[in-house]
Amino acid sequence: MPEKYDVVIIGSGPAGYVAAIKAAQLGLKVACVEQWLDDSDNMQLGGTCLNVGCIPSKALLDSSHKFADVRDNLAVHGITVKKADIDIPAMLARKDQIVSQLTGGITGLFKHNGVTPISGVGKVLVGAKVEVTDNKGNVQVLDASNVIIAAGSVPVSIAPAPIDDEHIIDSTGALMLTEVPVRLGVIGAGVIGLELGSVWRRLGSEVVMLEALDEFLPMMDVQIAKEAGKIFKKQGLDIRLGARVIGTEVKKGKVEVTYTSAGGEHTELFDKLIVAVGRRPRSEDLFSSDSGITLDERGFIYVNDNCETEAPHVYAVGDIVRGLMLAHKASEEGVMVVERIAGKQAQMNYDCVPSVIYTHPEIAAVGQTEQELKADGIECKIGVFPFAASGRALAANDSDGIVKMIADAETDRILGCHIVGPSAADLVQQVVIAMEFGSSAEDLALTVFGHPTLSEAVHEAALAVDGQAIHIANRKKR
């Protein structure tokens, strides 16, 4: 007889490991199945986020930003550095050490909370059973009262630019480059492309980004996207919109890329080419045909608002289901599901999920954009405050960007906040909390913010919603 668990979780990324720990804290017997192996064939917890996603990319973003600061931005402070050098192997070693520390931390948390880690590829069978095949081909079946699928996502590949892991690489390969390419091509100017392009631009690469869409960051508020585009252009990122790649060829160690745009067909030569056109759900071979689980037309597992699949007692969370592919969204879905399994009436508020692009300056948002509200016919009022008017930002020589606050024209309830600027990821969280409590723009306007802080830009944007900002000239309300 297979061993019985209250919950079996497939995947140990942010959705899976958080759900596993929370389930154990609630007194449930939990197993977590993970197929990721390190170079020694030992199970590696943490999923894409910790191993080749969020964490290593942020390590490189921070290292490269510090290097660029030393090289380009210290003279204004009266600090002279004769020559700044970058040690790429040392930078990569630091990234790997951080990853190792955090993945090892999950192992320790599993042990502390009594979660059983199981190495292998998981597959959901009918009746909430999970078949696990390890790397040696051994098979076992786990019997579960409930199953949570948290298998995550993988990079999207495109036929015109097949990955060879040497000249043409995906986001994982871009985290492992051992030297700075003289000329770097990036297919895709979305979140991943911008972050990776920023890393290598700061380190000295000439970076050309080829984006098939005609609009820059269409998922962001238009005003914020335009402001960000100006900043990135000033930083030296060559972002070409409406550029559709139709072919690539490796010639003498270089990558020749052919693309079309409004001006016709063009060819560019790069030392390396990163394919960063998005991610897709890792849904292949995850369940048997008779399991009752269904996929939508894009390969996402179909779930309801509570992340229940069409198979009884089987749930799916994170990148493998509808919605934004965000680690924090995945984690909170995992928590919601195990709390519901434990009998709690937990729900997920998808209206208050922030999104962040970790360039510098950062781009962060929560709630609806101005264009979305207009499309829905919702009357809104808007307050904008530039970091150029922030004393703290000016003192730090980091004053690019704006804060944009959007409130309902009738009720004054905050509907969205969009920021491009220093520490945007942390600043937007203040508005996330406000929105979670149903705050109005006036609530934030009446709140005391410390001085001098970057947070005052959020305060001033809230004041500006009703034309009451102090440190800028307010636009006359019609």
Q: Do 4-155+280-348 and 352-464 come out as alike in CATH topology?
A: no
**Does the domain made of 168-277 have the CATH classification 1.10.3720.10?**
no
Is the pLDDT at 220 greater than 90, yes or no? yes
The sign one gets for the Cα dihedral 373, 436, 431, 443 is: positive
Q: What is the mean pLDDT of residues 271-299?
A: 97
Region 39-56 average pLDDT = 94
pLDDT tens digits for range 360-398 = 999 999 999 999 999 999 999 999 999 999 999 999 999
Q: Are 354 and 428 in contact (CB under 8 A)?
A: yes
**pLDDT value at position 263?**
87
- Evaluate if residue 176 carries a pLDDT over 80: yes
pLDDT band at 441 (very low <50, low <70, confident <90, very high): very high
DSSP for 302-320, please give it.
P--TT-B-SSTTEEE-GGG
Provide the token pair at 426.
């942390």
The CATH H-level superfamily of 4-155+280-348 is FAD/NAD(P)-binding domain (3.50.50.60)
Instruction: Spot the catalytic one: 112, 451, 459, 471.
Output: 451
Torsion of CA 385, 386, 388, 393, to 10 degrees: 80
Rounded CA separation 431/448 (Å): 14
Task: List b or e across 189-206, with b for residues whose CB sees 16 or more CB atoms inside 10 angstroms.
Answer: bbbbbbbbbbbbbbbbbb
Evaluate whether 402 touches 370 at the Cβ level (below 8 Å).
no
The Cα 334–Cα 347 span in angstroms is: 11
Q: Using DSSP, state whether 442 is helix, strand or coil.
A: helix
Pairing outcome for strands 30-34 and 272-275:
unpaired
Residues 327-349 have pLDDT tens digits of 999 999 999 999 999 999 999 99
In CATH, the number for domain 352-464 is 3.30.390.30
Tell the burial category of 22 from Cβ atoms under 10 Å away from its Cβ (0-12, 13-18, 19+): buried
Is residue 451 flagged as an active site residue? yes
| pLDDT band at 3; cut points 50, 70, 90 | confident
Helices (H) and strands (E) in the chain, counts: 13, 22
Judge contact between 231 and 401, C-beta under 8 A: yes
**The tokens of 102 are what?**
């955090």
Say what percent of the chain tops pLDDT 70. 99
320, 3 Cβ separation under 8 angstroms = no
Residue 365 C-alpha from the chain's centroid: 12
| 478, pLDDT greater than 70 | no
Q: Are strands 121-125 and 129-133 parallel, antiparallel or unpaired?
A: antiparallel
Euclidean distance between CA atoms 181 and 418, whole angstroms? 33
* % of the chain at pLDDT higher than 90: 98
Give me the pLDDT at residue 423, please: 98
Confidence label for 240 from pLDDT (cuts 50, 70 and 90):
very high
Q: Taking residues 427-450, report their average pLDDT.
A: 98
Asked if the model's pLDDT at residue 186 lies above 60, the reply is yes
Domain ranges (residues) in the chain: 4-155+280-348, 168-277, 352-464
Average pLDDT, rounded, for the chain: 97
- How far apart (Å, rounded) are the C-alpha atoms in residues 205 and 38? 30
- If we measure between CA atoms, which residue out of 307, 310, 300 comes closest to residue 331? 307
Calpha distance 325→335 (Å, rounded): 16
* Higher per-residue pLDDT: 147 or 1: 147
Cα(296)–Cα(316) distance, rounded to whole angstroms?
A: 13
Q: Which backbone phi and psi does 203 adopt, to 5 degrees?
A: -85, -5
For residues 45 and 117, give the distance between their C-alpha atoms in angstroms, rounded to a whole number.
9
Task: Read off the tokens for 86.
Answer: 């970058």
Q: Which residues of 365-381 are buried (b: 16+ CB within 10 A; e: fewer)?
A: bbbbbbeebeeeeeebb
Q: What pTM value is reported for the model? A: 0.96
pLDDT tier, 39 (very low <50, low <70, confident <90, very high otherwise): confident
Whether cis (ω within 30° of 0) applies to the bond prior to 181 is no
402 neighbors 384 (Cβ within 8 angstroms): yes
Determine if the peptide bond prior to 312 is cis (ω within 30°): no
- The average pLDDT across 124-140 equals 96
The whole-angstrom separation of Cα 341 and Cα 322 is: 21
Q: How far apart, in whole angstroms, are the C-alpha atoms of residue 386 and residue 419?
A: 10
**Mean pLDDT across 97-104:** 97
pLDDT score at 7: 98
Q: Report whether pLDDT(451) > 70.
A: yes
Residue 274, pLDDT score: 98
Q: Is the pLDDT of residue 16 over 60?
A: yes
Helix (H, G, I), strand (E, B), or coil: what is residue 147? Answer: strand
Residue-level pLDDT at 1: 65
Q: How many CA atoms lie within 13 A of 411 on its CB side?
A: 8
- Mean pLDDT, rounded, for 451-460: 98
